[in-house]
Structure 1
Amino acid sequence: MKDQLNREFQLEKTPKRIVSLVPSQTELLVHLGLEASIVGVTKFCVHPKHLRLSKKVVGGTKQINLQKIIDLNPDIILCNKEENTKEMIAELETIAPIHISDIYNLEDCFELIKMYGNIFHVEKRASELISNIRKEHEAFQLQITTKTPLKVAYFIWKNPWMVAASTNFIDAMITEAGFTNVFKAQERYPEIVLNNSKLKEADLIFLSSEPFPFKSEHIAELQSKFPEKTIKIVDGELFSWYGSRLLKSYPYFKTLHDETQKVDTI
């Protein structure tokens, strides 16, 4: 079998002991009916909320307790190119087969869901999930009333200030949400200063709830510099988590559009 990096890995049987090192993928496994097979998760695997009480927490997404994972005797370990480090994966490969996801857009999400369907023999559940996400996407497209997408600057970090640019899943979801990313000409997550000219182009400034926990005081700080801008804290999970959480993303995007209609000058 191959993962999303086109790496080959071997499975002798359907995995029954899963270690998931990516929060959104952990939630996806539960949605696919595989909760009983999950033996290890990260401290950031917060959905569903009870999971960290019933499964072994093996560390975070960047740092793990290798011995805890060895003791779990996993049949497979699920990773992500962006979330987990090369050094981690090199160590984990000595323990069990590794599947690495690589997500940049909605089609990558669907490919991953299909892969999990095949690996864990839950093809029907995987197919139904993809179909339901597509339906949510299509329904949202019919609900968008703005003719010209509003321009957005999407902050993910402070000290230093960092934004989501292109070549990442957040940028794809900004487009999915019916907005335009003003930093699309750059790549990944550039550091910026607040006098960056692109910020002047933005109709909206979004402050993500994760990975940096932006709060109301950060809105006030930016509002003092950009009094004419609409600045909002947005649900970072619904812009950056793939898998089953996408079912909640599109209704949320509709709410965002309703709340920002007054910015639209059309």
Structure 2
Amino acid sequence: MYRPRVIPCLLLQHNGLVKSVQFANHRYIGDPINAVRLFNDLRADELIFLDIRASAENRTIDPALVQKIGDETNMPFTVGGGVRSLKSIELLIKAGAERVCINTYALTHPAFIREAAEEFGSSTIVACIDVKRNWWKKEQVYDHVRGQTTGLTPLEYARQLADNGVGELIVQSVEQDGTMAGYAVDLVQKIATAVEVPVVALGGCGSFQDIRRIVTEGRASAASAGSMFVYHGPRRAVLISFPAQSELQQLLSKA
């Protein structure tokens, strides 16, 4: 029976796993390959790997690491970080990634999404929209490399990406990132009802009920989370976890 996907999102920094809070205070939490093995055993739906330093360092996520992930995983996975050419997408797909996520480069080169979708198919191309409120509390698309909002509204940018043929959108709230205080439901709902491509919600998940709410009220096609699947307890001890398929079916089958 169909249910919305639930996807652990793992952040990479220098080929190690890290966790952030509001895009800052990065904490090393372990080896990515070990995490892949654990999520395999726990039967996670999919995985997302994002290299958070790649764009700033003018490189792509390491294809050799993607190859190692592909050799270990039994599930589909998406990778992103510094992608700015068709050749880099080709290398990452050959290394085993099912989808490639584009973030920073799409902000300045929106036509690249169309080129990539035409070359590799829309289902292969994902775009990530980071959203942060500006000084006037207005939600705007955020450029994490420059550390500033762009002036674009999330809705207009999502429509632009959809018009250019993107296959899926990851919508991430900077303010909610790492807080485990719940998703930005209104933001996700606004975008999910305005575009016809699947929307993956990211940022703020702290409970099963957050997952259910984002796919019911927020209309997300999938719920992604980091902290919920790598931390345990109030002291945030590192412990990889993922709910049983039976739990997810019961939680989401009627969502």
Give TM-score scaled by structure 2 length.
0.28
Higher relative contact order structure (alpha carbons within 8 Å, sequence separation ≥ 6) = 2
Identify the structure with the greater helix proportion.
Answer: 1
Q: Structure 1-normalised TM-score?
A: 0.27
